[in-house]
Every structure is written in structure tokens, then in C-alpha cells.
Structure 1
Amino acid sequence: MAQEYKIKGLSSLDLKSGEKREVEVEGIENGKVLLAKVGDKTHAMSANCTHYGAPLKLGVLTPDGRLTCAWHGACFNVASGDVEDAPALDPLAKFEVVEKSDGVYIKGEESSIKANRRQVNTKCSVQGQEKVVVIGGGSGAMGLVQALREQKFKGAITMISSEPYLPIDRTKLSKALIADKSKLEWRSQEWFKTSSIETLHDDVTSVDFKSKTVSTASGSSHQYTKLVLATGGTPKALPLPGFKDLSNIFLLRTIPDVQAILSAVGEKKGKKIVIVGSSFIGMEVGNALSSDNEVSIIGMESVPLERVMGAEVGKIFQEQIGKKGVKFYMNASVDSAHPSSSDAKAVGSVKLKDGTSLPADLVILGIGVAPSTAFLKDNPAIELEKDGSLQTSENFAVKGLSDVYALGDIATYPYHGPGGNGTLTRIEHWNVAQNAGRSVARSIVSPSASPKPFIPVFWSALGSQLRYCGNTPNGWEDLVLQGEPKEGKFAAFYGKGDTVVAVASMQMDPVMTQSAELMRRGKMPGMGELRKGLDVRDVGVPGEVKM
């Protein structure tokens, strides 16, 4: 039952427009809420992000009432508490603000204050003839099915995933090597049941776009009125001697992959681990395993992530992870894998083309992913892009087909962020897939609705937490680096002309989030201003104290 709770130490509502403040609630242990003033109204809501619990007082508040978390870009509507952008699934709890002669109170339920979130209402009894079939069970699929029910879609929903579990937080596989599905699954089976979302674990073998039928390996078929393709990526293997034949060589995409890696590492640890690929996955896994093992990372560039982040920033990542004892072999190419002297069927070493031999108890491949569209390869109704992806419109409708959408790793769509100019782009980011799913849900429920723009965001565990926003489909020409790069504390601004097209940061929150919101609003300062030392965290908006 809703009650009034007094806020400690606040005699009146003295916030300025654009200001936010975390306050304590009397009578509730560890009870905290966030006050945020937009225009002339003060709102009260959960104090922490519902994604990973970041304090929202560190986030970014905009004049149009968006509150964005500083860690991973989850965004909420201040007026309603609803999720605006991924990766949060649960909305914030909202509370009424009451000003009295003896102080300021909030009105709400104690359980909501303690829970720091509001349970989303997705309960549904299926009605009508509409049926959405979703192929895939990742971030995009989860964002789609939840958003459909949030937006009161009453039709049937069937999600078909090749993975033998419910949708998981896949980011935790490489960043933390968590293998317990109970700690990874976003929603319980009961949630899917009460939401009337059918979940099937099967492999889709073909789609008949004319008859609107999906066929699976088990022999079942599923009719649809709307089809969403969200099959994600398939990790690339190495077609080199030894890599197909020897055991203890792993890819990393699923819970069984992580379980197999942890089993090979064992409880005693101290293993010699070779990671092929200085990609984000390779670097994250190296970072996660480095404390108790001897880790070597092989990369083809001069520094890790040079192609995406540039040599100057890539060197920072290498030094950060190098402090943990990880050894790097850069400008290197792999020649072959060789068996162990004690077990002819297991890997024992990896040989480089320059003759270097690296001892290995196990090998992990992190050389990228390809769009998982093999089941569409010979379909005459569809034309895949050269990389195996599907071209879509801004609302992720597949080119040349009706009532079919594609999102996530398999979608190549027109990018309209800074410097994008509609360039066809494929982005393998967690947030992009989930936001695309939410966008497709809006298109299904309200076909005339315009696509909702969002700025791509991702994060990575590279010694410290990297945060990144924007994209560079047309490349970048210039870099402005602020902060203390040698200490792993920096903000990197990537420019095309004077336009900032992407921003990366470490230990300088909320630089990334602030930049993403400035990009979205068309208010991002130019490279020239940043080169003179402007701190984007100090950039205000007319009529507001600061975002």
C-alpha cells in the first residue's frame, strides 16, 4: 500500500531545472530515491539503473526528460520511469513528490523503494489472428518480444532459438566467464508463460516467404503474419592445420562454450592459454583469465583493436591488460596448432608464421563472427549481402520482402548518426540489437510510426571499463585524446572533418553518455573545440544548468 515517506535533510524542493540528486528515505533501511527536475517539475524515481545497478545520480539528464545511465547507456523516461533505450529491461519505480511545511515527502510503496525498479506489465491472453515468429533468442529477440507485450500487442508470439535455454545476458560470457544460466537468463520461464510468449529450442532449416512458413529441424512448421530474423552471429573458426583436429581449442558464443573453457582451465588453474585474435572478445577473455593463468594474445595488427580504435588508443588497452601479466604477440599470423607431447589428440602449442611456438594447454579463438544466415543462403526470395547479412530499411524491414524484419548482427541498415549520412552499416553491438528489437515492435504495433533514432553504444572489460558511442561507417580522420592516457584514464574523440563520429572513454564517466545524448540532439561540440580542451561534461543546454 502506498504511504508517505519523508526525505532526510530536505526542507524544500530547491533543485534547479536540469539538476538531479540522490536522497535518503526515512524509515527504510538503505532506502534511496533520485530526485530530478525537468522544467518546473521535480520527479522522484529509483536511484539505481535497473540494468547493472549504477547510481543514476552519475547519469545524464536532458531537457526532454531522458535520464541515461553513465555505465552502459540504459535510458529512462523521467516522467514515467519507462525504458527509452537498451540495455535495461525493467523500468524505474516512480513516486509522487509531496512538499509540506516540515519537509519533502515521497508517496509510494516500500517494496518499490527497496526493489529499485518497477515490474513491467507484459501479462497477456492471446487474441486475434496475428502471429509474430522470431527466429533467434538473443538481445534483439528479447527486446522485441518484451516491447510487443509492453505495447499491448495481443497476437501470438513464438520465439525459436537454437540455444537450449531462455535468452541470456551474453555479454557476461566473455567479460566474466559466467556459465550458470540462472545468473544469465533475463526472464524466467514463468515470465514467458504469463506473457504468452512461446519459446522453442530448435534449428530453423528454411523459410517459405510466399506461404509465410518457417520450417525447423524437428520437422515442425510455423505460420506467421510477421517474421523477425534475429539469429545473431556465428564465431569464425581457423581453417589451419591442427585447429580442426585437436581438442582444447574453443570458440566462445554460448553457455556450453564457457563451461568447456572453464573445465579445461580446471580448479588448479595456472594454465598456459593462447588466445588467437586481439578482438574485443579475445581481449575480454584474456582479461578475465589473466589473474590465475599465463595468457598470450596473438593479433595481426600492431596493437589490439587498431582498426577500430586507432594505434594510440589500442596501445592503452594493451598496457592496461599487460599489467595483469598478459603477453602480446602483435603483427603476427598463426601458422598451425600442434599436439601435446602427453596427449596426441589435445593441443600443446600454437606456431606462428615467424617460427615462434607458444605452449598452450588450451586455445580460445576470438577472430570475429559472421552473420548466422546459412539457412537463407539458397533461398530464391532473398539476396544476402556479401558478408551474409540482410539489407534493411531504417525500421529494419528486409529489402524486397513484406512483413519480414532483420535485426542485430545480421542486419545491414542505413546509419544516420553523426557522419553516417545513411551509409549501409552492420553493427555487432548488444545495445543496437536490443534497440532494434524495440524499434521493430513499434513498427508492428504502429506501422505508420517513424523509426526512433538511437546512438550505438557498447562497453568492454579491458583492464578498466571501456565505454563507446557512435560509429564510423565512413571511417575517421582525426583523434583528440583527453585525460591521462598513461593511467588508463582518457576520453578519445574520433572525427570526420570537424564532426565527432565516435567517442571512447575509460574512467571518465559520464563522458560517453553525455556525448551520446549530445549526438542524438545534434549538439555535440566539434573537434576544434575539443582540441582546445573543452570537457563535454561541462557542456550545457540553453535554459538548463547542464546535462
Structure 2
Amino acid sequence: MTELSTNEEDMCMVLERNTDTRAITSAHQYSSHHGLAFDVDDKLLQTGGAKPRIVGALVIRCQLDLRQIIRQSPRGSKKSLFAFTTQFRAMATEFKVKDLAALDLKPGEKREVEVDGVEGGKVLLLNVGGKTTAVGAKCTHYGAPLVKGVLTGDGRITCPWHGACFNAKTGDIENAPAIDNLPVFGLVEKDGGVYVTGAQETIKGSRRKPNIRCSAVKPENIVVVGGGSGAIGTVEALREQGYKGSITLISNEGYLPIDRTKLSKALIPDPVKIGLRDQQWFDEAGITTVTDEVTEVDFLTKKVHTKSASVYPYTKLVLATGGTPRQLPLPGFKELGNIFVLRNIHNVKDILAAIGEKNKKIVVIGSSFIGMEVAKATSKDNTVSVVGMEKVPLERVMGEQVGSYLQKQLEATGVKFHMSAGVDKALPSSSDPTKVGAIQLQDGTKLDADLVILGVGVAPATEYLKDNKSVQLAKDGSLTVDENFLVQGLDGVYAVGDIATYPYHGPGGNGAPVRIEHWNVAQNSGRAAAAHIVAPTAARKPFIPIFWSALGAQLRYCGNTGSGFDGRVVQGLLEEYKFAVFYTRGEEVVAVATMGKDPVVSHASELMRKGVFPKKAELAKGLDILTIEVPA
């Protein structure tokens, strides 16, 4: 190692040693974890022999101790000299932490601190097992303060809002719905103070893009069919975990993957505003995006056929085609206009066009989460009626008691409910008989309607497999998979998200097959499939289903009541929308729902993951689960 400059603000070091491209990964990961931009000079890439080599000198400009990179850089098998050139575009700077003289955090403690010299800059200090690290202070999903989250004994920090989880040491994603990692900053105690090292913009932004730059160098080819949460979870994790083969993403939606959860909550018609990644990201990741519709899969020859007559061969296939909104097979619903489902951007545009200048009469059929959210989203400037078959909204999932309070919350915004009701038919408008004018219920009630929105569930989008003799669909049209989301009976084929029925090992599951239509589950299942593709013998990382809903106050939920529940324990006040409800089967808690009680659901999900959740009797006595540490 030769020192070229002693300037502390621009320290240059040259490392010359026998090395190969693995060293680049080492340096890249190290720099990324410390909030530093990293780039490899592609001009120095040369191919010699069986694998590419980087020829040149390593030049690193930063203020960090680079001995770790040197230690991690593996020696090449040949005596000839190989080296590589890198350059940090964003300089790392050392900043003093305000009002902190020493790193005195106790194990399990987390502390948000301000950074001197960075306007609005904060970092989060975490002590896991006696060692303190500094990471970004905000969740990379929606910006929740992670200091209010859950730190576990095995080194995970979980967002208090939506369950996004990160490794407390590396900042890497452990659980959806976040897609960006947390930055990790250099941390040192000296001269009577505490200092962090990192790029100023990274400290302020509190996020780190995954290391996904890749030019495919292996002959393998993965085809991912779908454009939703499961698809983005798969392709992100493949590149994060080092897959170097080609990836093709085929979607029929006409735009890149979006945050679909915002469609029913806010009716946003612009895919760019809610896009998860732009085209440049996919290009840099070496992921080919295709807009087309898959019509057939030949599992014997391993080829995907599309509507445009294109054929895509694969070595591994991930099916992530999501759900198809259900229609009502009743008179008038197929023939009349202004009757909509809500699944994609095109649906949102059609709904907004029908609403026009507002003050419309809207009938929402279905009192599930989609129906309730779209009712709330449209109620401000319109007259909205909800029709549901249950006694109260969400009764099957949340129970009658909680459902009644959720109904009251929306009634306060002007939404009218017609529950325990069946729909008879859709009637034409007197002014335009081609469009809907009213919905007639089975008891004869007529609800005037300028437009109707159906929220009556989704079916697995597997129409392209119905006549395929190589695969057996379940009764509901889904694909049965194992713990790694491998489809039973097929070679190298995975199914994730809404189309996958998988063995559930969460509380009360005992490996029973479930199909869960949650955004987080889809993304996590995609990540699980990717992990198995990259490292098929590695231990599986279980996840607990989490979802949330905007129904006035924010509703959080973890676990699964698909197999039913026979009891509840309520802590808090339902009427004040500040409560935690524990759904039980016998003495076992199988799910938890909260409003105004963050981070109870995040904490509950971690206790469930570790298998240490308290019993019903303890909760009935008033036990606060936040007092229970999540063990290592």
C-alpha cells in the first residue's frame, strides 16, 4: 500500500495485490454501507481466460480506514498481478454528533441523534449485543422514525408503521415493504465526543440504494412474469444477493412496477408518481422489461409464450401475476357502463373520468379493505354508499366488534352503509341507458348510482395456465408451493404473491396451506424465491404477514386468521380508535390488529417470528407486549 497524499480531506491510497472481481464486491459493499457512492471504471474491465478481470490500480478517496477492504480482498490463484480501480464520487466527511459525549448505549437501546453541520440530519444509534452502530434514522418505505420501532436481540430494526425490517449492522432489508436499504455510517468516540462518517446527502436522505448494477455474465436466464409486489421483490433480491445471470420481467400492465397500495387509498392516476423504480434502475440492474401478455408456458421445453408471439426461454421461472378482480355475474353488470373494478392505473383513470367534476352518487359493492378504502377516498366530494354481505365491514377478518367501529369511522365522513345485503341487479340510467343508473338490492332497495365500484375480491391471475396439462391448479386457481415457493411438480418454477398457496408456519398455522393477498406477503415471497434461487441450501428466513389500511386512523395488522379464531382480547378503547386486539384460537394468539398503538403490531410480528408470543390468559390480565424483549 502506497500513500499518495496525506491530506485528510482527500486521502488517496493505492492497493496493488493479486485479486479478482470478488474484491470489487467487497469494496462496493463496504462503501455503500458507509453512505458512499461507488463506481467502477468500466474501461478497465478486461476479459482474460474464463472470467473477467479488472486490470489497473485501486484508487480510493475517502476518510475511512480502508484496511477492512484490504483484508477482505481475496488473493488470486495466479501469481500475475491483478488490481482494480474505483473512485468514490461522494466524499465521506466526519461529523460530530450533537449533545453526546460518549457511546453509552446499553444493549437493546436505540437513540436518535442530531448531526452537527448537516441541516436536518439525524442518525440512529443501535446497540445490539454490546456493540453500537449508526444507521439511517428514517424508514426507507414512508419515512417513519425508526427510533420508535422495534430492535430485536438478533439485530433487526423494524419500522413502527408497516413492518419494514432492516439488519441493524449492515442496514440491509430483512422484510418488505421497503425496497431501499438503510445507510450505515462510520462511528467513533474520541476527544470527548462522538463522530459519524458519511456523505452529507446520505445522512439527510437516510436511504441507500441496493447494489444492483450488473451486466449479465452467466448463461442462466430467469424470467419473471408479473409487474407487482412479488415481481419487484424477486428481481431486487436476485441482484442484491449476487445473481449474475440475465433477468427478463414481463408485465401486461403497460408501466413499470408501482406502489399498488396507493391506488385504493388515494386514486393516483400517474404511474410515475407512485413508481417503485424507474427505467434507468432496471437498465443498470441488467433487467430487461417487456410489456406483453403471457398466454402460455411450456414447462417441458422451458419457454414462455406471449400474445405478441414472442418466446422467452428460461432456466428458472417466477410467476408473480397477482390477482384478477372478481366481477358480479348478475343482470346489468356486464352490459352497463360506469361499473368498475380497481386493480391498476387504467382502472383509476376510468373511475376519475366517471367522477369528473365530483358530486356524484357512488355505490361501492364490497366491504373488504379495497371497498372501504375507496369509499373513504371518494367520500369527500361525493355521496358514497357501501353494500356488504356481512353484518359489519371486515367482520370475517376483524370480528364484529372491531368492524362496527370501523364502520362508524367512515359514517362520520358521510359514507352510508347497507350491510347484511345482497345485490340483485344493476339498472340502467334514465338519461343514458348504456350506463348504470342504480343498484337494486335483494330486499328491493334501490341505490341511485352515477358509477359503481366493485370490491368483491380477487381470483388468482392464472388464466394462462388453465388448460396446461403440466400443472394442477388448486380449486381457487392458485398454485401450490413449498416453503421456498417452488411449485409442486415443476422443475425450477416458483409462484409468489396472490397466486401462491404456501405452507403457513406462523402462529396457529402448523404448515397449513394458505393464500394471503397482502402487499408485504407478495414482496417477501418474491424475496424468498430469489434467495432459494441464489442459495438453494441456505436456511429459509420465515416472515409474518403484515398489512395496513387507511380508514381514518391507521389500522395495522399482523398474523393470519384464515383458519378462524374463537376469541379476542381487547386492550385500549375501541371507541377512541386507540386499541390493540389480539385474535386467539384457544390460548394461542394468531393475529393482532391495532389503531393508535404503534409499534405494537411490529413488536407482535417479531415475537411471532421468534415463537415467544404470550398466551391469551396473560393478555387478558393486561400484559403489555412491549415489555417483552424479542430474544436473539
**Number of the residue aligned with 2:471:** 382
Task: Tell me: CA distance 1:210–1:542, structure 2 relative to 1, closer, same or farther (3 Å).
Answer: closer
The superposition leaves residues 452-500 of structure 1 with CA deviations (integer Å, 9 ceiling, x where unpaired) of 1010111111121111101123211110111110111111101111111
Per-residue CA deviation, residues 305-335 of structure 1 (Å, 9 max, x unaligned), is: 1111110111111111111111000000011
| Residue 406, structure 1, aligned to residue 406, structure 2 | no
The aligned counterpart of 1:45 is 135
Q: Is 1:225 the equivalent of 2:315?
A: yes
Of the three residues 300, 303, 315, the one matched with 1:210 is 300
- Structure 2 partner of 1:9: 99
3-state SS in 2 of match to 1:182: coil
What are the residue-to-residue correspondences of 1:335-374 with 2, within 5 Å?
335-374=424-463
The one-letter code matched in structure 1 to 2:150 is V
**Partner residue, 1:131:** 221
RMSD of the TM alignment (CA)?
1.0
Matched AA of 1:451: R
By how many angstroms is 1:542 displaced? Answer: 6.8
1:346 offset after TM fit, Å? 1.4
Letter in 2 for 1:197: I
> Given that residues 19 and 37 in structure 1 are in contact (C-alpha distance below 8 angstroms), is that contact kept between their aligned partners in structure 2?
yes
Of structures 1 and 2, the one with the larger relative CO (CA 8 A, separation 6+) is: 1
Q: Which residue is 1:192 aligned to?
A: 282
> Are the aligned partners of 2:610 and 2:630 in contact in 1 as well (CA < 8 Å)?
no
Partner residue in 2 for 1:466: 555
Match of 1:109 in 2: 199
1:80 and 2:80 are equivalent in the alignment: no
Alpha-carbon distance change, 541 to 456 in structure 1, aligned in 2, over 3 angstroms: closer
CA contact (8 A) 1:35 1:42 kept: yes
Work out the number of aligned pairs and report it: 542
Find out whether 1:146 has 2:230 as its counterpart: no
AA in 2 matched with 1:17: P
Determine the C-alpha separation between the residues in 2 that align with 1:97 and 1:82: 18
CA distance in 1, matches of 2:102, 2:408: 49
Give deviations 1:188-231, integer Å, cap 9, x for gaps.
Answer: 10110111101111111111100001100000001000011110
Q: 1:483 aligns with which of 572, 579, 582?
A: 572
Confirm whether residue 530 of structure 1 aligns to residue 619 of structure 2: yes
In structure 2, the CA distance between the partners of 1:243 and 1:542, relative to structure 1 (3 Å rule), is closer
Distance 2:586 2:148 in 1: 31
Query: What are the residue-to-residue correspondences of 1:269-288 with 2, within 5 Å?
Result: 269-288=358-377
Which residue of structure 1 lines up, in the alignment, with residue 327 of structure 2? 237
Counterpart check, 1:292 vs 2:390: no
Is 2:340–2:347's contact at 8 Å kept on the other side of the alignment?
A: yes
Q: Which amino acid aligns with 2:104?
A: D
1:99 paired to 2:189:
yes
Paired residue secondary structure (1:328): strand
2:420 aligned residue (328, 331, 348): 331
Instruction: Read off the aligned partner of 1:295 and give its amino acid letter.
Output: V
> For 2:581, what is the secondary structure of its paired residue?
strand
For the residues of structure 1 that align with 2:104 and 2:385, how far apart are their CA atoms?
55
Which residue type is aligned with residue 342 of structure 1?
S
- Structure 1 letter corresponding to 2:232: M
Paired residue for 2:110?
A: 20
CA pair 505-256 structure 1, distance change in 2 beyond 3 A: same
Structure-2 separation of matches of 1:251 and 1:104: 55
CA 1:88–1:542: 2 relative to 1, 3 Å: closer
- Alignment of 1:309 with 2:398, yes or no, is yes
Partner residue, 1:178: 268
Mapped contact 2:108–2:126 kept (Cα < 8 A): yes
For 1:489 and 1:272, how far apart are their aligned partners in 2?
32
Q: Which deviates further from its counterpart, 473-482 or 496-505?
A: 473-482
Find out whether 1:422 has 2:511 as its counterpart.
yes
Q: Which runs of 5+ in 2 are unaligned?
A: 1-90
| Map of 2:56 onto structure 1 | none
Q: Deviation per CA, 1:156-184, whole angstroms, max 9, x where unpaired?
A: 10111111000111000011111111111
- SS class of match (2:249): strand
| Letter matched to residue 386 of structure 2 | I
Q: Give how far 1:128 is off.
A: 2.1
- The two structures have a TM-score, normalised by structure 1, of 0.98
Aligned to 2:254: 164
* Code of the aligned partner of 2:607: L
User: Residue type matched to 2:556 in 1?
Assistant: R
2:166 matches 1:66? no
Contact 2:154–2:631 (Cα < 8 Å) also in 1: no
Amino acid at match of 1:276: I
Q: What is the CA-CA distance between 1:17 and the residue it aligns to?
A: 1.1
Match in the other structure for 1:318 = 407
In structure 2, distance between residues paired with 1:483 and 1:179:
38
Conserved? CA contact 1:296–1:326, under 8 Å: yes
1:540 aligns to 2:629 (yes or no): yes
Which whole-Å deviations, capped at 9, do the CAs of 1:228-275 have from their partners, x for residues lacking one?
Answer: 111000000111111111111110001010011111111x31111100
Q: Quick check: which has more Rg, 1 or 2? A: 2
Query: What is the CA distance between 1:450 and its match in structure 2?
Result: 2.8
Contact 2:607/2:630 (<8 A) preserved: no
Cα distance in 2 between the residues matched to 1:541 and 1:64: 8
1:348 Cα deviation after fit: 1.1
Aligned-pair identity in percent equals: 62
User: For the residues of structure 2 that align with 1:23 and 1:329, how far apart are their CA atoms?
Assistant: 51
Number of the residue aligned with 1:394: 483
Q: Distance in 2 between matches of 1:542 and 1:479?
A: 26
Secondary structure of the residue that 2:272 maps to in structure 1?
helix
Amino acid in the other structure paired with 2:258: I
Q: Where in structure 1 do 4 or more consecutive aligned residues deviate above 4 Å?
A: none
Give CA-to-partner distance per residue, 1:68-117, whole Å, 9 cap, x none.
00110000001000000000000001111111233111111112102211
Contact between 1:126 and 1:155, CA under 8 Å: does it hold in 2? Answer: yes
The alpha-carbon deviation at position 30 of structure 1 amounts to 0.6
Measured after TM superposition, the shift of residue 541 of structure 1 is 5.0
Partner of 1:260: 350
Q: Give yes or no for contact 1:423–1:473 (8 Å, CA) kept in 2.
A: no
The separation in 1 between residues aligned to 2:539 and 2:459, in whole angstroms, is 30
The whole-number CA distance in structure 1 between the counterparts of 2:209 and 2:602 is 25
CA contact (8 A) 1:420 1:472 kept: no
2:457 counterpart of 1:457: no
